[in-house]
Structure 1
Amino acid sequence: MYLTGRDAGRVAQAVEALPAGGAEVRGEVLDVAEPGAAARLATRLAERHGGVDIVFGNAVMRVGPDDDPRAVVRAYAEVNNFGTTRLLRAFAPLLRDGGRFLVVASSFGTLRHLAPVLHDRFDALSSLDEVDHQVAAWRDAVEDGSARAGDWPGFVNIPSKIGQVAAVRALAAQRRDDDLARGILLAAVCPGMMNTPTSALWWDASTAPSPAEAAKALLDLVFQPADPAHYGELVRYGEVLPWR
């Protein structure tokens, strides 16, 4: 098992803090915002192990209510969105039979949170390149201020999460038949509200589950038999959230 992060010291501390007696955990430095980092790690793991069984894509940049979207959107999209598509490109081809690739997203990642005039930007995209193109167009519109005059939501998390789910859907459309035949599950996952410092910036999350408690729903998708209805979808607590 590999635990990754962009800071070598924090990765080492996290590995050391894990309880003894379980799976062997190795730390690896991975900054998904660096264009070639995911591919390099995927190559190393393929050389060591021949493939991968489970991938969680959970990199996220923290943003608060006081942050100016124009100032943060470039770095935000680089981590949340381009980081996601880099992981998908690098690791999906390495999945073994019965594998799982789960992208942690949000219930905001559905088209109902976007103005109908913008739905075509993310609906029925056929490749990760197309997803990246649409995310870049949104990022540029936020950065130059033109998004304010349009129909884009002011909360950058919404288009970003929709972009993540669109990426899963685009890749799933390409891989569906082969993956289902091999028992592979590729899906986006909403873990629900969690009690984290980032959530507390926006909402009262004091009664929400801890990250460890919220992780159970993700682990259920890993250890239970793959449900074909979940494939390529956004799943929350075992149920599919409608895309449209």
Structure 2
Amino acid sequence: MSVKSRVAAVTGANKGIGLAIVRNLALTYPSSPLRDGPLLIYLCARSASRGAEAVKTLQNDAQLKKAKVLVEDGGDTTITFREFDVSDRSSIHKFRDFLRSEHPDGIDVLINNAGIAMDGFNEDVVKQTLATNYYGTLEATQSILPLIRDGGRLVNVSSMAGKLNKYTPELRDAFISASKSGVADCTSLMQDFSKAVQDGKEKELGWPSAAYAVSKAGTTAFTKAIAAEEDKKGRGVLVNACCPGYVNTDMTKGNGVKTPDQGAKTPVMLALEDIAGTSGGFWQSEKIIEW
């Protein structure tokens, strides 16, 4: 494959917010200040069949056709599927190695959207949720960030569920401190939470009985820590976390109040718009909010 001028990858993109992010990247790119030649978007998902179906859905999307943004319709954006399982370290590394060989000059945008929200609360739910939402997203961030070209963007989709107002002052301070001191301290907090749940003491120690919420607090924390590390390198790569809002998807069991397109607005803005060198922010509704 010939080298494309711009390359983006979106994980967890076969449905819901992820699919809407891919769709809106294609719609927004022609007017983006980052536009520089053709755009190649990797729509990443665990299932090859669902991923291929999602690509086909976008190729037949009425708004995309009307806008003539895809190559098939005379535009300069190509959407293609790549297999990626955020809960599988070897899958993350396989995707990283593919990007490295296919795009030796690097890529421009990574949006880590893949994640899970499980019912119930017990040790197993905590283990699986953290493995995917925290450790998997961290692995994807650390593996692929070095491949992002100078001036590129990395966006981690977090959640308002991970805001710190539901914690004791001590834990809130610990999260803020970890986000400033480094990834190891963020991971240590996740280990503390896991042990508290294992011992049946999470409430006693000030943790919410909510695996998803804690995993997203951890994601926001490590994103801030990595943004600070990246800033020191002077490459101009902007690293941010965002909440898409309460979106009507399978994850919210159809209870969300926003459409997937509305949920995609902030991640797409962070990927393609001029955000004046802002990195390490926690964003919602296209602005930085208090974590």
Output the TM-score relative to the length of structure 2: 0.74
**What are the Cα deviations for residues 134-170 of structure 1, in whole angstroms up to 9, with x where unaligned?**
2122123223422133211122222211100011011
SS of aligned partner of 2:44: strand
Aligned partner of 2:212 in structure 1 is: 157
SS of aligned partner of 2:155: strand
> Of residues 28, 46, 57 in structure 1, which corresponds to 2:112?
57
Counting aligned pairs with the same residue, the percent is 28
| Correspondence 1:136 to 2:185 | no
SS of aligned partner of 1:192: coil
**What are the Cα deviations for residues 208-231 of structure 1, in whole angstroms up to 9, with x where unaligned?**
121122212222222221333x31
Aligned partner of 2:267 in structure 1 is: 218
Aligned partner of 1:238 in structure 2 is: 286
Unaligned runs of 5+ residues in structure 2 are 1-40, 61-68, 71-76
How many angstroms apart in 2 are the aligned matches of 1:213 and 1:60? 19
Equivalent AA in structure 2 for residue 45 of structure 1: L
Q: CA deviation at 1:91?
A: 1.0
Would you say the 8 A contact 1:70–1:145 is kept in 2? Answer: no
User: For residues 1-244 of structure 1, what are the structure 2 equivalents within 5 Å?
Assistant: 1-19=41-59, 22=70, 23-50=77-104, 51-64=106-119, 67-125=120-178, 126-179=181-234, 182-200=235-253, 204-205=255-256, 208-228=257-277, 230-243=278-291
Q: CA deviation at 1:193?
A: 1.3
User: Which stretch of structure 1 is more off in the superposition, 46-55 or 112-121?
Assistant: 112-121
SS of aligned partner of 1:227: coil
Q: CA deviation at 1:120?
A: 4.1
Q: CA deviation at 1:41?
A: 1.2
Q: CA deviation at 1:70?
A: 2.6
How many angstroms apart in 1 are the aligned matches of 2:184 and 2:91? 18
How many angstroms apart in 1 are the aligned matches of 2:250 and 2:45? 18
SS of aligned partner of 1:61: coil
Q: CA deviation at 1:242?
A: 2.0
SS of aligned partner of 2:192: helix
How many angstroms apart in 2 are the aligned matches of 1:156 and 1:39? 26
Aligned partner of 2:73 in structure 1 is: none
How many angstroms apart in 2 are the aligned matches of 1:61 and 1:143? 21
| Paired positions, count | 234
**What are the Cα deviations for residues 178-220 of structure 1, in whole angstroms up to 9, with x where unaligned?**
35xx44211001111111233247xx43xx1211222122222
Output the TM-score relative to the length of structure 1: 0.87
Would you say the 8 A contact 2:154–2:240 is kept in 1? Answer: yes
Question: Structure 1 pair 48/160, CA: closer, same or farther in 2 (3 Å)?
Answer: same
